[in-house]
C-alpha cells in the first residue's frame, strides 16, 4: 500500500503523520504521533476513525455500494446461498464445489446443541424478549466450550466459527418455540440451512408431514445474506473489542448480540413495524412526518451512519418484498404504507438535506412479517445472519498480532481535591 505523510503542526512543532492507502475507500492517517505531541484524537461515535484494517467488507456510502470480499451484495443475494457467503466471509473466496460440500457437511454436523442448554431457557419468563434469551443462551455456550479452548490454536478458532454458524438457527428457533410454549424441534440435516430454520421454527412433533415452503426458505436465505456483514458497525466493533481481550468467542458473540439489539442498530427492523402500526394509514403520514421533523420521533428504517445514498440491501429487499408478497398472494397494507412513507420522505427537503434514505431495516420487517415471523424475532434473525460476519472479523483479528482495544477520553471532570468528612459536606 502506497504511503505518504500529513503534517501536523502543534505548539509550533511539525509532526509527520504517515498516510496509508487501502485498495478501496479513503486513505487513513496514522495518528500515533499525536502521543509524542501530548495530544489524543477526539472522535465521538467514531465518525472518522478506523481502528482496524480489514479485508472482509467494503462500503461506499456515497455510491451506495456494499462488497463482501469484493463481491457486490446484489449479486451474492440473488445468486449465492447464505452458507456460500459465510464461507467467503471467513475464507476470502466463494467456495468451489469440493469446499462447499465440506463446509456444508461441517455445518450440518454441528447444528444440535448440548441437551443441558435447554435448561437455560426454563429460567426465562415465557414472554421474555427473544433477544434477551439469545444474549443469555449464546453467552452460556461459552460454558460448554471453554475448558481446553486455546484461542491461539487456529483449529480451535475454526471449529468455533462452524459451531456458532451452525447453532444460531437452532438457538433462535428454540427462543421462539419457548415463547410459544411449544416443544423444541431438533434440527434436520436433510434440509438446507434456511429450510432447517423454517422447520425448527414452525414444525411441531405432531405435524409429521410438515412441508417447508420453498418461497419462504429462499426469501430467508436471501435475508440472511443481506444481513451477514457490514464492516465495523456497532455490534461488529463490540465483538472485536471484546475479542481483543482474548475473551471466550461465544461470550464475544453474545456481546455482539447485545449491541445489535438496540433500536438504532439491529433493533430497527422491529421498530419499523411498530412505527407502521402507529401510523396506521397513509392519511396519517403527513402528521407523523411533522413529529419526525420536530425531532419527536425518528423515521425508523431511515438514515445510516455510512450510506448517504440508498442502502443497496434495501434495494434488494424492496424487490424481494414485492416478489414474496406476490408469490404468497399476500396484500399487506403495511407494504403500501411503507412505499407511501418512502416516497414522501424521498421528496421531502428534511430528509434530502440530511441524506436520509431507507436502510436495510426498512423493508426486512415487512418480508419477515409476510413469511410468518413474529416481530419480536426480527432482530434475532438479524443476529443469526450477522454471526458469520461477527465471527469472520473475530477470526481476522486473531489471524495476526493485535493489541487490546483501549480508547482514551477527553476528561472534563474535577481537578484533584481532598477528601471531605461527612460532617463537613454541604
Ligand atoms: C443498522 O452501522 C451499520 O452498518 C448498521 C447496519 C448494519 O448492517 O450493521 O447497517 C444496521 O443499524 C441500520 C440502521 C438502523 N437504524 C435505524 O433505522 C434507526 C433510525 N436511524 C437513526 O437512528 C440514524 O439514522 C442512525 C443511528 C442509523 C445513524 O445516525 P447518525 O449517523 O449518528 O446520524 P445522526 O443521528 O447524527 O443524524 C444526522 C441528522 C440529525 O439531524 P439534526 O438533528 O442534526 O438536524 O439526521 C437526523 C438526525 O436528527 N436523522 C434522522 C434519522 N436519522 C438521522 N431524522 C429522522 N429520522 C431518522 N431515521
Domain boundaries, the chain: 5-50, 70-243+378-399, 267-371
| CB distance 293 to ligand 1 below 6 Å | no
CB of 292 sitting under 6 A from ligand 1 = yes
Nearest atom in ligand 1 to the alpha carbon of residue 360 is 13
With a 6 A CB cut-off, is 291 part of the ligand 1 pocket? no
Q: What is the pLDDT of residue 36?
A: 82
The CATH class for the domain spanning 5-50 reads: mainly beta
Contact 250, 139 (CB under 8 A): yes
| Residue carrying C-alpha cell 433493533 | 267
Annotated catalytic residue within 227, 230, 361, 393: 361
Alpha helices in 37-129 (DSSP H): 73-79, 82-91, 97-108, 118-122
Pairing of strands 13-20, 57-60: unpaired
| Ligand 1: residue whose CA is nearest its atom 40 | 354
Cβ(302) – ligand 1 distance below 6 Å:
yes
DSSP state, residue 368: H
For residue 222, count other CB atoms closer than 10 A to its CB: 24
Q: Nearest residue CA, atom 25 of ligand 1?
A: 303
Q: Judge whether 263 and 271 are in contact, CB under 8 Å.
A: yes
d(CA 180, CA 216): 20
Given this model, what pLDDT does residue 132 score?
A: 97
Judge if 5-50 and 70-243+378-399 fold alike in CATH terms.
Answer: no
Nearest by Cα to 314 from 236, 370, 366, 372? 366
Strand pairing partners for 65? Answer: 60
**265 carries an active-site annotation:** no
**C-alpha–C-alpha distance, residues 259 and 248, integer Å:** 17
Q: How far is the CA of 238 from the centre of ligand 1 (A)?
A: 18
The pLDDT, as a whole number, for residue 3 is: 56
Cα gap 60→72, rounded to integer Å: 11
CA 389 to ligand 1 center in whole angstroms: 21
Residue 207 is among the residues annotated as catalytic for this protein = no
Nearest protein Cα to ligand 1, atom 54: 303
Q: Which element (helix H / strand E) includes 314?
A: helix 312-327
Give residue 2's pLDDT.
46
Q: Which of 118, 128, 117, 172 is nearest to 377 (CA)?
A: 172
Q: What is the pLDDT of residue 335?
A: 85
Task: Write down the pTM of the prediction.
Answer: 0.94
The residue ranges of the chain whose pLDDT is under 70 are: 1-3
The best mutation among 304, 357, 387, 393 to test binding of ligand 1, ranked by most ligand atoms within 8 Å of the C-beta, falls on 304
The pair phi, psi for residue 134, each rounded to 5°, is: -65, -40
Select the CATH number that applies to the domain covering 70-243+378-399 from these four: 1.10.3470.10, 1.10.1740.10, 2.40.10.120, 1.10.580.10: 1.10.580.10
Q: Is the CB of 66 under 6 A from ligand 1?
A: no
Distances from the Cα of 332 to the Cα of 99, 202, 324, 369, angstroms: 41, 21, 11, 9
The CATH class, in words, for 267-371 is mainly alpha
Tell the residue nearest (CA) to atom 16 of ligand 1.
264
Q: What number of helices (H) and strands (E) belong to the chain?
A: 18, 6
Amino acid at each position: 500500500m502506497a504511503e505518504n505523510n500529513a503534517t501536523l503542526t502543534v505548539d509550533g512543532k511539525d509532526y509527520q503523520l504517515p498516510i496509508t492507502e487501502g485498495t478501496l475507500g479513503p486513505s487513513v492517517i496514522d495518528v500515533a504521533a499525536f502521543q509524542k505531541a501530548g495530544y489524543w484524537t477526539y472522535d465521538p461515535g467514531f465518525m472518522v476513525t478506523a481502528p482496524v484494517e480489514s479485508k472482509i467488507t467494503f462500503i461506499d456510502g456515497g455510491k451506495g455500494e456494499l462488497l463482501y470480499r469484493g463481491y457486490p451484495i446484489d449479486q451474492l443475494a440473488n445468486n449465492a446461498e447464505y452458507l456460500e457467503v459465510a464461507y467467503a466471509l471467513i475464507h476470502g473466496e466463494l467456495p468451489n464445489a469440493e469446499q462447499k460440500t465440506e463446509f456444508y457437511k461441517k455445518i450440518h454436523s454441528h447444528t444440535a446443541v448440548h441437551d443441558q442448554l435447554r435448561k437455560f431457557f426454563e429460567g426465562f419468563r415465557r414472554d421474555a424478549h427473544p433477544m434477551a434469551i439469545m444474549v443469555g443462551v449464546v453467552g452460556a455456550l461459552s460454558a460448554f466450550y471453554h475448558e481446553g479452548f486455546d484461542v491461539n490454536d487456529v483449529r480451535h478458532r475454526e471449529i468455533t466459527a462452524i459451531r456458532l454458524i451452525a447453532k444460531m438457527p437452532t438457538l433462535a428457533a428454540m427462543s421462539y418455540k419457548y415463547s410459544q410454549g411449544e416443544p423444541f424441534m431438533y434440527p434436520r440435516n436433510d434440509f438446507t440451512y434456511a429450510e432447517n430454520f423454517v422447520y425448527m421454527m414452525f414444525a411441531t412433533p405432531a405435524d409429521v408431514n410438515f412441508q417447508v415452503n420453498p418461497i419462504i426458505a429462499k426469501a430467508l436465505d436471501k435475508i440472511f445474506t443481506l444481513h451477514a456483514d457490514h464492516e465495523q458497525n456497532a455490534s461488529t466493533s463490540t465483538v472485536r473489542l471484546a475479542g481483543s481481550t482474548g475473551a471466550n468467542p461465544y461470550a464475544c458473540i453474545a456481546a455482539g448480540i447485545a449491541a445489535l439489539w438496540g433500536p438504532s442498530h439491529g433493533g430497527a427492523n422491529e421498530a419499523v413495524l411498530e412505527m407502521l402500526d402507529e401510523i396506521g394509514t397513509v392519511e396519517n403520514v403527513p402528521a407523523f412526518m411533522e413529529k419526525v421533523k420536530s425531532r419527536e420521533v425518528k423515521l425508523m428504517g431511515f438514515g445510516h451512519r455510512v450510506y448517504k445514498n440508498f442502502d443497496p440491501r434495501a434495494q434488494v429487499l424492496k424487490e424481494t418484498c414485492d416478489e414474496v408478497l406476490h408469490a404468497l398472494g399476500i396484500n399487506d397494507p403495511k407494504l403500501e404504507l411503507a412505499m407511501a412513507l418512502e416516497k414522501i420522505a424521498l421528496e421531502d427537503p428534511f430528509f434530502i438535506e440530511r441524506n436520509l434514505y431507507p436502510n436495510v431495516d426498512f423493508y426486512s420487517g415487512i418480508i419477515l412479517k409476510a413469511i410468518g415471523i413474529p416481530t419480536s424475532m426480527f432482530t434475532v434473525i438479524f443476529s443469526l445472519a450477522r454471526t458469520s460476519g461477527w465471527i469472520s472479523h473475530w477470526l481476522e483479528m486473531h489471524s495476526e498480532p493485535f493489541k487490546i482495544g483501549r480508547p482514551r477520553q477527553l476528561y472534563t471532570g474535577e481537578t484533584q481535591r481532598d477528601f471531605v468528612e461527612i460532617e463537613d459536606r454541604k
